[in-house]
Amino acid sequence: MPRIALVTCRPGAQISVDRDLPVLARALTEAGAEADIVHWDDETADWGRYDLAVIRSTWDYSWRAAEFLAWAERCGKATRLANPAGVVRWNADKRYLGDLAAAGVPVVPTRYLAPGDTADLPARHEYVVKPTSGAGARFAARYTPDEHETAVRQLARMHAEGFTAMVQPYVESIDVSGERALQFFGGGFLHAARKGAVLTPGTPYDERKIAHPGLEPWTPTPAELAVAERALAAVPEAAELLYARVDLVDGEDGQPRVMELELVEPNLFLWLHPESVPRVVEAILAEAAASR
């Protein structure tokens, strides 16, 4: 019997409920596996007893990044970890967008402001400020040039807490065509969804946002699939990926660009695509079997 750990985090006021987790655990059990839901920071967990640990909803990891990355390294030495610790480390810092751009992948233009850097912010267009390590739009906000002083205060707060900020032009197409999330699992395309704009004007950076407003099923275009596949091909250890989510928006030229690449703990939206559950279970069991 394959033993599988579905890795999550402890409940909290700022933590969303993983609607997929009980469904996935039940489906794996029905398929003949021993599936446990385990908190990543459970000091009593014996990771070595599992054939596979699948990171699912460790949605507090960006608040405890160093601790989480150290855990991923330890867990990856004790058992097979999906995704692998090297991928997790690379993807946990959104400076990976620079790596994708260098590889020729179309991405949303991004600049980085580390602690100590001058607050060099756009003066002619709307822009977004957010941390290079973050999830669920935490510490993210949208600004006009007239809101410079508010944005500077956000940067000061982020830098004081040790965060490097990323600055991107606000992609206006999100307000019209939304953001598309293309999911991949077990080496192939799984399903896709589209959501509306997360960052609305005037919403404070430290206010909790709805991470996936207006989520609905989506059929990706050939161009969207092509960009997503190019992005995944540029990932270090790409052949080792069990799962991936590629978030796309339309650039000024109307062509898809990568907004984010989610390889650590992406929400799979299985509740929106229940037909995908058997394929996910099959891929997890195959991954577990490869480690035995």
The pLDDT value recorded for residue 214 is 86
In the predicted structure, residue 285 carries a pLDDT above the cut 80 = yes
Percent of the chain with pLDDT over 70: 97
pLDDT classification of 208: cutoffs 50, 70, 90: confident
Q: Which one of 115-119, 164-168, 189-193 scores highest in mean pLDDT?
A: 189-193
- Lowest average pLDDT, out of 85-99, 149-163, 204-218, goes to 204-218
Percent of the chain with pLDDT over 90: 80
The pLDDT value recorded for residue 269 is 96
Break the chain into its structural domains and give their ranges.
3-83+276-291, 95-263
- The mean pLDDT value for 40-58 works out to 97
The pLDDT value recorded for residue 161 is 87
The pLDDT value recorded for residue 113 is 94
pLDDT classification of 55: cutoffs 50, 70, 90: very high
Question: What is 95-263's CATH number, 3.30.2130.10, 2.60.120.370, 3.30.470.20, 3.30.230.70?
Answer: 3.30.470.20
The pLDDT value recorded for residue 233 is 97
The pLDDT value recorded for residue 137 is 57
The pLDDT value recorded for residue 135 is 61
The pLDDT value recorded for residue 139 is 79
**Residue 179, strand partner residues:** 195
* Tens digits of residue pLDDT in 124-160: 999 999 998 866 556 789 999 999 999 999 999 989 9
The mean pLDDT of the chain is 93
- The mean pLDDT value for 31-46 works out to 98
Give the tokens for residue 292.
């035995």
pLDDT classification of 212: cutoffs 50, 70, 90: confident
In the predicted structure, residue 85 carries a pLDDT above the cut 90 = yes
Of the candidates 158, 195, 164, which has an alpha carbon nearest to the alpha carbon of residue 96?
Answer: 164
In the predicted structure, residue 77 carries a pLDDT above the cut 70 = yes
pLDDT classification of 204: cutoffs 50, 70, 90: confident
Total residues found in the chain within this entry: 292
CATH annotation of 3-83+276-291 = 3.40.50.20
Q: Are 284 and 28 in contact (CB under 8 A)?
A: yes
Q: Give CA torsion, residues 131, 136, 138, 142, to 10 deg.
A: 80
The pLDDT value recorded for residue 210 is 67
In the predicted structure, residue 292 carries a pLDDT above the cut 80 = no
pLDDT classification of 107: cutoffs 50, 70, 90: very high
The pLDDT value recorded for residue 78 is 97
- The mean pLDDT value for 218-229 works out to 98
The answer for 239, left when phi > 0, alpha when psi is -120 to 50, beta otherwise, is alpha
